[in-house]
């Protein structure tokens, strides 16, 4: 494969990263835009479901890029971990300490802050760092699962995990921290294996039309399931959770379609750039989200949910990109290596 095609393929996956991080911000703005006790319309539930593929897509892309890594010896595996783990753990430590400062200023006990820091809970999205670290460690094992039997086995594991979480939440009435149901590799292992499977040049759907039909059917299934659950329990975070069977089916459908269209020549300069700096946006967006939410609710209290989201998403993206650009102008090496920007 020549260099030009390689660059084209990398650009496409940057676009997918851009799509995923914009979806992550949209998901978080939904949570911040809804006032407790207020009835959530079916269209909000539908919109939340429409973008629930964000984390599974990130996990799949991560698996895609380790598909052809060589782990033929212990030293090659150790070298891989020495290279990959600092890339995520050093920026995590910086931003975890940054957010810990705000927890301290709010009067949170130091021991509680330390617990949150070591369990990847100083900010809600940080569970993803714990998740991706586990997959880096499991990479040689996962490579061996990148076949039809492996996909089936890990799909069964994901289904079983979702059923267990559902039982704990509703039958036992136990509220779980996100690190326990989204920060462990069990539910997302299927998507990491799927990424490796795609990275080895294999496909799920041979035709784009059949893949698109599957997307629409799975979205309809997910939406009806979520609306019924929300009407029963009045809990949007659970009804629209990514860690649920219908959500995983829909995410699988979307990701299969996206990876099936990688050679269609799709280009988007904005999403491509957002994808390149998506790691920095991931770390910084919560800081702006919490502060902009307060300002909008004070100065524009009558904004509808979708208008609120549109303003928030655009503003957060611009501010995060600005921070990344400024940091790289000051010292690119520090910005990239230590801040993840």
Structural domain that includes position 293 = 279-341
Q: Tokens 């670290």 map to which residue?
A: 133
Q: Of 229, 259, 276, which residue is a domain's last?
A: 276
Same domain flag for 174 and 153: yes
Q: Is 265 left (phi over 0), alpha (psi -120 to 50) or beta?
A: left
Q: How many Å is the Cα radius of gyration of the chain?
A: 20
Same domain flag for 245 and 312: no
**Residue at 229 is within a domain:** yes
d(CA 183, CA 205): 29
Reported as a single tens digit per residue, the pLDDT across 262-288 is 666 677 888 999 999 999 999 999 999
Q: Of 225, 250, 276, which residue is a domain's last?
A: 276
**Residue at 85 is within a domain:** no
**Residue at 167 is within a domain:** yes
Same domain flag for 272 and 169: yes
The model's pTM = 0.90
Our separate counts of H helices and E strands in the chain read 15, 0
Same domain flag for 241 and 293: no
**Residue at 320 is within a domain:** yes
Same domain flag for 185 and 322: no
Reported as a single tens digit per residue, the pLDDT across 150-189 is 999 999 999 999 888 888 877 777 788 888 888 888 889 9
Same domain flag for 224 and 307: no
* Mean pLDDT of all residues belonging to the chain: 86
Residue 320: CA atoms inside 13 Å, Cβ hemisphere, count? Answer: 31
Give the total number of structural domains in the chain: 2
Reported as a single tens digit per residue, the pLDDT across 30-63 is 877 665 555 667 788 888 889 999 999 999 999 9
Same domain flag for 182 and 245: yes
Per residue of the chain (341 residues), what is the pLDDT tens digit?
A: 333 334 445 788 999 999 999 999 998 888 776 655 556 677 888 888 899 999 999 999 999 998 888 888 888 899 999 999 999 999 999 999 999 999 999 989 999 999 999 999 999 899 999 999 999 999 999 999 989 999 999 999 999 998 888 888 777 777 888 888 888 888 899 999 999 999 888 888 777 788 888 999 999 999 888 888 777 776 666 667 788 889 999 999 999 999 887 666 677 888 999 999 999 999 999 999 988 888 887 888 777 778 888 899 999 999 999 999 999 999 999 999 999 98
DSSP 207: -
Q: How far is CA 171 from CA 66, 185, 229, 273, in A?
A: 39, 24, 14, 45
């Amino acid at each position: 494969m020549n260099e030009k095609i390689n660059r084209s393929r990398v650009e496409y996956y940057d676009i997918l990263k851009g799509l995923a991080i914009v979806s992550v911000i949209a998901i978080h703005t939904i949570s911040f835009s809804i006032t407790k006790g207020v009835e959530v319309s079916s269209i909000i539930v539908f919109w939340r479901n429409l973008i629930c593929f964000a984390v599974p897509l990130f996990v799949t892309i991560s698996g895609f890029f380790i598909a052809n890594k060589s782990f033929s010896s212990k030293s090659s595996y150790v070298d891989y971990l020495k290279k990959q783990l600092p890339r995520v753990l050093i920026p995590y430590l910086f931003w975890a300490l940054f957010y810990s400062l705000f927890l301290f200023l709010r009067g949170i006990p130091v021991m509680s802050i330390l617990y949150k820091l070591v369990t990847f809970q100083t900010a809600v999205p940080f569970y993803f760092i714990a998740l991706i670290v586990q997959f880096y460690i499991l990479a040689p094992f996962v490579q061996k699962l990148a076949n039809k039997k492996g996909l089936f086995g890990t799909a069964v594991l994901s289904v079983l995990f979702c059923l267990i979480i559902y039982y704990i939440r509703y039958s036992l009435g136990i509220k779980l921290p996100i690190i326990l149901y989204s920060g462990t590799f069990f539910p997302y292992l299927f998507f990491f294996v799927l990424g490796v499977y795609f990275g080895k040049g294999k496909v799920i759907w041979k035709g784009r039309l059949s893949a698109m039909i599957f997307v629409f059917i799975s979205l309809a299934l997910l939406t009806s399931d979520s609306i019924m659950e929300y009407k029963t329990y009045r809990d949007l975070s659970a009804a629209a959770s990514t860690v649920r069977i219908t959500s995983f089916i829909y995410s699988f459908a979307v990701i299969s379609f996206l990876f099936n269209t990688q050679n269609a020549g799709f280009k988007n300069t904005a999403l491509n750039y957002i994808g390149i700096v998506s790691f920095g946006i991931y770390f910084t967006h919560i800081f702006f989200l919490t502060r902009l939410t307060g300002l909008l609710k004070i100065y524009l209290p009558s904004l509808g949910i979708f208008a609120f989201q549109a303003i928030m998403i655009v503003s957060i993206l611009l501010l995060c990109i600005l921070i990344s650009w400024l940091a790289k102008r000051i010292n690119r090496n520090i910005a990239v290596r230590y801040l993840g920007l």
